[in-house]
Amino acid sequence: MKKIIFTVCFLLFSVGVMAQDLQPAEENSLAQEIQQRFASVQTLSASFTQEKHMSLLEQPVTSAGYFAFSKDPAKIRWEYTEPFQNGFLMSEGKTFRLEEGIKKPVKNAMSSHIAAQMMMWLSFDLTELSKNYEVEYFERGVMLYPKGKITVLQKITAWFSTENPQALEKIRLDEPGGDYTLLRFLNPQINQPLKKELFQ
């Protein structure tokens, strides 16, 4: 089942979030409903596939990998297994690059900044996101439009699963100029114990 549960995403769902074509009362009601839906999710892990559609690539490139997320303390491991084994790890505020499964410290501020941004998107902390994005709802998900200076992304679209109310099916990251990345999530595991080694 190509669905994933988004746990952390809406736990801190709050005021900055706006609903498209919804009345304020409906917005509040929806926010509360989503908050309740995802409140119980503490951990999440899943495999994923990623399609890169870039004008500079002669063909779209598909990658596969695995990610694990813990809400408290905040930790995330995002790792590709194909075609290369690499990724990143954020644990207790520190960022590491993963190369062939080996953890390497991130030295420059730019990489840390990028990793922090990715953590924010992946964790889908809407309180944080709403500081940087306008949030709009559509029938099956949300769309995030960058505010101000964020110019590398045009919008982020997240589709919620119709079958599992705590699940997300896919995310599409649209860049200016037409390039985009499509992430599809597979075999989600909700509130299952995560191996400590994943974050060490």
Partner 1 sequence: MKLAGNNRRILNILFTGLLIFAMVASSWKLLHIKPQENINGLVPFALREQIYLFQKSPLNRKVFVIVQGPDENSSLDYARGLQQSLLDQHLIKPGFQPSLDRMQAWLGALPFRWTAKDEQQTLTKLSAEAVDRLMAENYKKLISLEGWVLKPLLLADPLHLIDLMGQKFALLNPQTSVRYQNGFLTDATGRVHLGIYELNAIPDFAAARQMTQFFQQFSKDLPADVKAFFLGGLRYTAENVQIIQRDLWIVGTLAMLSLILIFISFLRMKQALLIYLLPLAVTPIAAWVTYWIFDGISGITLGFGSVVAGLSVDYAVYVFFALRSGQERQLITPPLKRHLFCTFTTSALCFVSLFISSVEVFRQIAVFALTGLLISLLIALYILPVYWKNLPIAENSISKSLPPKISKPFAWSLCFGVICLGVIGLFQIHFESDLNSLNATSGIFKQQYNILQNTLQGRDQEQALLFVKGRTREEALEQSERFEQQAGIPLAVNALFPSKNTAEKQVAQWRNFWNQDRVLKLQNDLEISAKKLGMVPAAFKPFIDFLTDLTQKDTADFSSIYDPFISLPNGDWAVTHMVPYSPRLLQQATRFGAILIAGSQLQQDLLKQIQQESLWVVELAFLLNFAAVTIIFRSIRKALLAFIPVLFAAGFTFACFWIFQLKINLFVLIFLPLLMGLGIDYAIFQLTRHELAPSIRTAYAPAALWVAALSTLAGFGVLIFARHSVLFMMGISSFLGIGSAMLSAQYLLPAILEKK
Applying CB under 8 A, which residues contact partner 1? 50, 52, 54-59, 61, 63, 78, 80, 83-84, 86-88, 92-95, 105, 108-110, 112-115, 117-118, 149, 151-153, 173, 175, 179, 181, 183
Q: Which is nearer to partner 1, 21 or 107 (CB)?
A: 107
Shortest reach from residue 33's CB to partner 1, in Å: 29
Closest CB to partner 1 among residues 113, 195: 113
Closest CA to 30 of 142, 121, 127: 142
Q: How far is the CB of 152 from partner 1 (least distance, A)?
A: 6
SS3 state at 83:
coil
Q: What letter does residue 198 receive in the DSSP assignment?
A: G
Of the two residues 12 and 30, which places its CB atom closer to partner 1 in the complex? Answer: 12
Least Å from the CB of residue 197 to partner 1: 17
102 Cβ contact partners less than 8 Å away, ≥ 6 residues apart: none
Only one residue has tokens 């690059």, namely 97
Give yes or no for a contact between 32 and 19, defined as CB atoms under 8 angstroms apart.
no
Which of helix, strand or coil describes residue 27? helix
- Of residues 21 and 72, the one with the C-beta less far from partner 1: 72
Residue 107 CB, shortest distance to partner 1, in Å, is 8
Q: To 5 degrees, how large is the angle CA 188–CA 192–CA 194? A: 100
